[in-house]
Structure 1
Amino acid sequence: MTDRGPAVPEAQATYVFAVCRDVDPAAVRDLPGVDDAEPVRALPLGTLTAVVQSVPAADFTDEAWQSRLSDQRELERYARAHHEVVSAAAAAAPTVPLPLATLYLNDERARLALAEQADRFHTALRRTARHAEWGVKVYAPTEAQAASDPVAPLPTEAQAAPDAVAPSPTAVSARTRPAPGAGLAYLERKRGMQQRRERRHDDALRTAEVVDAEVSRLATAFRRLRPHGAQHSGDRDVQVLNATYLIADHRAPELVQLTRTLRERTGARIELSGPWVPYSFVGEV
């Protein structure tokens, strides 16, 4: 949806944060937005309103934006500013958030392009009005946390014969040899540990399905996302459910209580986050 043209010195472009229904312009007027040189403002779109800001066009050329994407700190600053405006609008009226750096050459180009999407905006607004997005994550313990019975090393013949007292050459050699039958016992213990790990993981997956099924019954819509591995999230536990739910505002207390009940009933680590602007449920706009 972005409409970037060639940068003109000192030219202004129109940055669009969101499209709303019946938003009070005062709800977003005092926000700094992504560039505090110009105020965030409302742009009428017939029965809808866009929340926009005039920004220097030269700061949002493809080259400038690609450079900004490589600067993690700068990118996070823009993302926070964008989210702050979207959140303020959503707190005041039903809102469809637009992607970061949705840009048009001027107000008129923005108005024309957004008006073409009016039916899709109305559909998304009807679906998400008086709803919020909530995240639910379920974790299984890592192997290191779950393993309470580490496998002992193979016993040697010397360890298996406690009456040996003098370190003779034969005894020294025996310390390096497994006792008869020790290898089979060692493999059996290893196999048992593997089976217990698999059972724990299967139990965690079943818990995740139970949690998802019960939370889904409260939701208007839901999405299962790919779980993040511990190595990616930095978390010590393994994520077995990563889902997001569209919950009507009046059912939020039920969700909080249900999550608490599921923690107590399953003993699993269950994280609830939100409420958020329903980014995941507005569709492609």
Structure 2
Amino acid sequence: MKHPAPAAHAQTQAPAPDATATYVFAVCRGTRAINTADLTGLPGMPGGGQVRLLASGTLTAVVQTVPAADFTDEVWQLRLSDRQEIERYARAHHEAVSAAAARGPAVPLPLATLYLDDERARGVLGDEAARFHGALKRIAHHTEWGVKVYRPPAPPEPAVSAAAARPGPPAPGAGLAYLNRKRGVHDRRERSREEALQVAESVDAELRDLAAESRRLRTHGAALTGEQRVHVLNATYLVAADRADELRRAVGSLRERTGAQIELSGPWVPYSFVGGV
């Protein structure tokens, strides 16, 4: 699942015990397809009311009334430290955004975007209507695809010969030979790294030609992924829906031509290309 952006508008002050807030998942054009959408099957945020539509002029937001106490800054920071819990909230957010996107262009808002009430949410939609319409125009008939490129595992350390492993004084020149072997491994690793970075640049350049927009993201270290392979490209591309097959073929061709480990994920709702609305 493509994760929503981090929390944006968590409540900073402790609300009254029975206070509620308006949670906004996504913003769409106020088309008939959106305004007649049946959202009754969506669970939404835990503890919240029915996911519903909130119209404001030519825009319609997918919203839910939620307990304000569940989204204070303190509560949300604790939730962020619980991987399973934050995954539950992120999945609920993504399901609502995806339901809207299935009926037309939808601007996904960051996880935990809250307003005091419906009127405050409507006010924001009205004030920011031009920006929302600009984002909707940009992502219409496009989806987001993620691409990751990894370099091969590093060469193994030089083996210790049986003679070198025996006790006793080292053979003449053994130390120099060992250092040369170590230097050779280091040089091969550097060449492998440089070659992998060149492949990453060539992959990105070719896929950018297919995309309307692209973004380079931070690569993940082995400690974060729990893997031994090294991440050299983490990018996302906004691709027209009618070019999706072309993108898949391009990635397949790049795998064959470069021998690189290339992962393609998607299509996703264009979380990365809505301009921070």
Question: Aligned to 1:14, which of 10, 17, 22?
Answer: 22
Aligned partner of 2:168 in structure 1 is 176
Matching of residue 205 in structure 1 with residue 197 in structure 2: yes
Aligned partner of 1:221 in structure 2 is 213
Contact 1:12–1:56 at 8 Å: present in 2 too?
A: yes
CA deviations over 1:20-50 (Å, ceiling 9, x no partner): 1122442534211113652111100111101
Question: Aligned to 2:146, which of 128, 135, 150?
Answer: 135
* Cα separation, partners in 2 of 1:201 and 1:37, compared to 1, 3 Å: closer
Aligned partner of 2:81 in structure 1 is 70
Residues 10-159 of structure 1: matches in 2 within 5 Å? 10-21=18-29, 22=31, 23-35=34-46, 38-143=49-154, 146-147=155-156, 150-153=158-161, 155-156=163-164
User: Secondary structure in 2 aligned to 1:271?
Assistant: strand
TM-score by length of 1: 0.87
Bigger shift: residues 46-55 or 26-35: 26-35
Contact 1:138–1:269 at 8 Å: present in 2 too?
A: yes
Alpha-carbon distance in structure 2 between the residues aligned to 1:130 and 1:60: 33
Aligned amino acid, residue 57 of structure 1: A
User: How big is the shift at 1:154?
Assistant: 8.4
Contact 2:22–2:66 at 8 Å: present in 1 too?
A: yes
* Cα separation, partners in 2 of 1:71 and 1:189, compared to 1, 3 Å: closer
Contact 1:128–1:281 at 8 Å: present in 2 too?
A: yes
Q: Gapped runs of 5+ residues in structure 1?
A: 160-174
User: How big is the shift at 1:76?
Assistant: 1.6
Alpha-carbon distance in structure 2 between the residues aligned to 1:206 and 1:178: 41
Q: Which has the larger radius of gyration?
A: 1
CA deviations over 1:248-276 (Å, ceiling 9, x no partner): 00000001011111111111110000001
Contact 2:151–2:229 at 8 Å: present in 1 too?
A: yes
Percent identity at matched positions?
62
User: How big is the shift at 1:92?
Assistant: 1.1
Contact 1:20–1:94 at 8 Å: present in 2 too?
A: yes
Aligned partner of 2:236 in structure 1 is 244
Question: Aligned to 2:227, which of 217, 230, 235?
Answer: 235
CA deviations over 1:74-130 (Å, ceiling 9, x no partner): 222111101110111111110111111111111111100222111111111111111
TM-score by length of 2: 0.89
User: Secondary structure in 2 aligned to 1:211?
Assistant: helix
Aligned length: 266
Aligned partner of 1:2 in structure 2 is 9
Contact 2:148–2:262 at 8 Å: present in 1 too?
A: yes
User: Secondary structure in 1 aligned to 2:90?
Assistant: helix
Contact 2:46–2:89 at 8 Å: present in 1 too?
A: no
Alpha-carbon distance in structure 1 between the residues aligned to 2:10 and 2:256: 51
User: How big is the shift at 1:141?
Assistant: 1.7
